Chain A
């Protein structure tokens, strides 16, 4: 089945720094979704992307739908302590119902 890969697996950054992470697939995705999960909580939807090349922002977050439709990028500008968490990319498989999650990127922000 379709699988998603995320890099980096984890990252430690200083508060105020910008962050960039990406998600790749061996097959085409028509939708990319980015979620953030805090420990013990459910994932929270950050950004949804529906068109190849689309660039969408949500506050300090910006995500892009790759032109090849096999990747997506998430950038966080001027990181703050509350950005700490696990960031997952996700999307529907070919049939639209089965949701696939990437393994996640764990972000730590050092004061």
Chain B
């Protein structure tokens, strides 16, 4: 089973709203990732959690706040977003971020299509 689930599938929010994106995997992976993808562009890494600890923050604005409650769950809390934050937000997981070979294979969820109005 290589399934990563994400909820919601679609989200429309105003610039003053607070919302959260959720991601879940039950593959025993210890690394989880958030990516942002704009139309016709490749995914861009936002955050990496390794063994439930934030290990990489790619200079993401503080209006995006990640959280990893346990090894299976990853949240992305959104607050005071801008229209340019509208994008497909992808969650991914891998065995471990630095294990050789299979540790690098990232499995992606279907994404949350976010629209900020």
Contacts and interface: CB of A to CB of B under 8 A. Distances in A.
B83 interface: no
A31 B104 contact: yes
Given A99-B45, A101-B42, A104-B42, A43 B108 contact: yes
B42 A45 contact: no
B104 A48 contact: yes
Interface residues of B, number: 32
B55 to A, nearest CB: 6
A98 interface: yes
Contact of B45 (A31, A50, A98): A98
Interface residues of A, number: 23
Contacts of A31: 101, 104
B98 interface: yes
Contacts of B88: 40
Contact of B113 (A40, A90, A99): A40
Interface string B38-54: 00011111001010000
8 contacts: A41-B110, A45-B106, A45-B107, A48-B101, A96-B104, A97-B50, A97-B97, A104-B42
Interface of B: 2, 4, 6, 31, 33, 41-45, 48, 50, 55-56, 58, 88, 90, 92, 97-98, 100-102, 104-111, 113
Given A31-B101, A43-B43, A97-B50, 15 more contacts: A40-B111, A41-B110, A43-B90, A45-B107, A45-B108, A48-B101, A48-B105, A90-B106, A91-B104, A97-B97, A98-B48, A98-B58, A99-B104, A101-B43, A103-B41
